[in-house]
């Protein structure tokens, strides 16, 4: 039998990541820890000794996807380990209901991930944790949280230090604890983890914990490292990016950080995401809208626009206040992109509330709209609220709002016909060049297909992932654009031409 602490040389581990971009960053931290201990790290479960599924536990559909992925991984014959949000949220309950998984890990296991997987390969029994509210593990006062000995995925420090570094070495000179699992030109950069908000429908703070920012020097060091691996666009992620810096004593920290990230050699675009409307200050709007290299892009978590519904959700705002926020951004950057998600069927939602939401969507001119039908989530305040909307009514409202969203987003795309956009090339395959304009975030907001110009312009055949080109929009397909590249703004380094 191999010891749980023995080297993992020649062992192969597959990391399968579900859910949001924050989970992707967490997986790359796990990959770095495992790679440092000799594991061969891959994202392909075929032939792996262990498959680690970084699960999502946000809503019921995500949980079902996680279960199906775990079961499919077990069919490969590999040892299967559940990690991530669903594993943290349910712990022993998940382990008891899913014997196909040899282990269910907590975030507290992440610093010792290699030892945990060695034990799994050796056939050792693993006792899953009993879930707890991770907010209670950190001090109530935000500025006191950084000194607490609590595992924060995506905030780790290397388990090993080199001869040139020790615990006193400044962050920008330390080894970056990240191993990329994707070679594309876009990468997420995790600003913080956890959340201090108490939205009635959301269980995330209970299993992700209280809000903790990473320091600017840590983020700049990781961003420089990502740029050296070929990353051209940074997507800043967290549970609530507008809270960044409040525990560092600087509520304007994000406003200061964005220009610094945009100035890093090799980075051509920085995109902020997960903005809370109630915390989006005028100074931050101005920085996002006017800073060269920062996408004029506003990923705003509205969730609804009817004031009574927002109050029941324990959120703030209204149709008019949200429209004013969007107008302030467009006054600085008329072509600014904006997206949001909305929940229909929240307890107590009336026909009047839906009418108010329709008014907002119709006037907001959003580029991308996500519509979700409300369902009770265990452990949330909303699950115990009265005034539940019937399932049939929720479905009817969801279908209506989804159809409206598709129509409105298509209209917004058509407004961009004839405009000039800056497109970052994501992929080139079989002669098809796909990229994204500044108003299009990866995976969620549509894309731009580049087509050959009739004369002049940029040679389509010469384009490579990571190139940034200026292009003219000539057609639309739903939220997607078709554009002709007019000139190269910045060529990806190292690509043969």
pLDDT at 7: 53
User: 124 and 219: one domain?
Assistant: no
Q: How far is CA 94 from CA 75, 103, 111, 127, 217, in A?
A: 18, 10, 21, 12, 38
End of a domain among 415, 444, 463? 415
pLDDT at 2: 35
User: 384 and 426: one domain?
Assistant: no
pLDDT at 173: 62
CATH code of the domain covering residue 443: 2.40.50.140
CATH code of the domain covering residue 54: 3.40.50.12160
Residue 119 within a domain? yes
Residue 411 within a domain? yes
Residue 322 within a domain? yes
User: 301 and 333: one domain?
Assistant: yes
User: 410 and 449: one domain?
Assistant: no
User: 472 and 408: one domain?
Assistant: no
**How long, in residues, is the chain?**
497
User: 118 and 204: one domain?
Assistant: no
User: 375 and 405: one domain?
Assistant: yes
Residue 104 within a domain? yes
User: 319 and 439: one domain?
Assistant: no
End of a domain among 400, 415, 430? 415
Helices 113-121/21-36 angle, 10° precision = 70
Residue 1 within a domain? no
pLDDT at 159: 43
Is 409 flagged in the annotation as binding? Answer: no
pLDDT at 475: 97
pLDDT at 168: 56
Number of domains comprising the chain = 3
User: 402 and 477: one domain?
Assistant: no
End of a domain among 415, 446, 468? 415
Residue 154 within a domain? no
Residue 125 within a domain? yes
Range of the domain at 402: 170-415
User: 344 and 361: one domain?
Assistant: yes
Is 421 buried (19+), middle (13-18) or exposed (0-12) by CB count in 10 A?
buried
Q: Tell me the pLDDT of the chain (497 aa) as tens digits.
A: 233 444 556 799 999 999 888 999 999 999 999 999 999 999 988 889 999 999 997 777 778 888 888 888 888 889 999 999 999 999 999 999 999 999 999 999 999 999 999 999 999 988 999 999 999 988 888 888 877 888 888 886 554 434 455 555 555 566 789 999 998 999 999 999 999 999 999 999 999 999 999 999 999 999 999 999 999 999 999 999 999 999 999 999 999 999 999 999 999 999 999 999 999 999 999 999 999 999 999 999 999 999 999 999 999 999 999 999 999 999 999 999 999 999 999 999 999 999 999 999 999 999 999 999 999 998 899 999 999 999 999 999 999 999 999 999 999 999 999 999 999 999 999 889 999 999 999 988 899 999 998 777 788 989 999 999 999 999 999 999 999 999 999 999 975 55
Looking from the CA of 46 toward its CB, the CA atoms found within 13 Å total 0
Is 56 flagged in the annotation as binding? Answer: yes
pLDDT at 143: 83
Closest among 213, 217, 282, 284 to 243, alpha carbons compared? 213
User: 231 and 205: one domain?
Assistant: yes
User: 335 and 411: one domain?
Assistant: yes
Distance of CA 206 to the CA centre of its chain: 18
Residue 4 within a domain? no
Cα separation, 25 vs 65, whole angstroms: 19
pLDDT at 1: 29
């Amino acid at each position: 039998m191999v010891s749980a602490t023995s080297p993992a040389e020649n062992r192969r581990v597959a990391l399968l990541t579900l859910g949001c971009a924050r989970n992707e960053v967490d997986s790359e931290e796990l990959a770095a820890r495992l790679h440092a201990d000799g594991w061969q790290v891959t994202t392909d479960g075929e032939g792996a000794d262990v498959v680690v599924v970084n699960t999502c536990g946000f809503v019921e559909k995500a949980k079902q996807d996680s279960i199906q992925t775990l079961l499919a991984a077990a069919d490969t014959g590999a040892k299967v380990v559940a990690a991530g949000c669903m594993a943290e949220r349910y712990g022993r309950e998940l382990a008891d209901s899913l014997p196909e998984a040899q282990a269910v890990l907590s975030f507290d296991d992440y610093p010792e991930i290699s030892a945990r997987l060695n034990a799994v390969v050796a056939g050792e029994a693993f006792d899953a944790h009993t879930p707890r509210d991770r907010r209670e593990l950190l001090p109530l006062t935000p500025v006191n949280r950084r000194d607490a000995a609590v595992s924060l995925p995506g905030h780790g420090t290397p388990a090993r230090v080199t001869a040139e570094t020790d615990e006193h070495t400044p962050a920008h000179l330390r080894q970056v604890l990240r191993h990329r699992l994707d070679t594309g030109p876009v990468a997420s950069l995790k600003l913080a983890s956890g959340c201090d908000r108490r939205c009635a429908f959301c269980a995330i703070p209970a299993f992700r914990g209280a809000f903790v920012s990473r320091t600017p020097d840590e983020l700049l060091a990781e961003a420089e490292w990502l740029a050296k691996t070929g990353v051209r666009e940074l997507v800043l992620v967290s549970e609530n990016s507008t809270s960044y810096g409040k525990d560092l004593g600087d509520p304007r920290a994000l406003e200061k950080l964005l220009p610094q990230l945009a100035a890093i050699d090799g980075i051509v675009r920085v995109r902020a995401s997960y903005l809370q409307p109630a915390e989006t200050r005028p100074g931050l709007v101005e920085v996002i809208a006017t800073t060269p290299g920062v996408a004029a892009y506003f990923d705003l978590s509205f969730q609804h626009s009817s004031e009574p519904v927002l109050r029941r959700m324990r959120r703030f705002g209204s149709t008019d206040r949200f429209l004013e926020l969007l107008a302030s951004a467009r006054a600085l950057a008329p072509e600014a992109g904006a997206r949001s998600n909305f929940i229909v069927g929240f307890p107590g939602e009336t026909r009047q509330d839906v009418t108010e939401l329709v008014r907002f969507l119709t006037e907001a001119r959003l580029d991308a709209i996500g519509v979700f039908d409300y369902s009770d989530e265990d452990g949330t305040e909303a699950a115990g609220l009265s005034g539940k909307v019937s399932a049939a009514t929720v479905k009817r409202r969801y279908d209506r709002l989804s159809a409206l969203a598709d129509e409105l987003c298509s209209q917004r795309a058509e407004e961009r016909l004839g405009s000039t956009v800056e497109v970052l090339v994501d992929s080139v395959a079989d002669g098809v060049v796909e990229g994204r304009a500044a108003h299009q975030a990866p995976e969620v907001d549509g894309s731009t297909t580049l087509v050959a110009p009739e004369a002049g312009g940029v040679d389509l055949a010469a384009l490579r992932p990571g190139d940034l080109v200026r292009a003219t929009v000539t057609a639309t397909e739903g939220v997607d654009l078709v554009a002709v590249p007019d000139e190269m703004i910045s060529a990806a380094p190292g690509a043969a031409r």
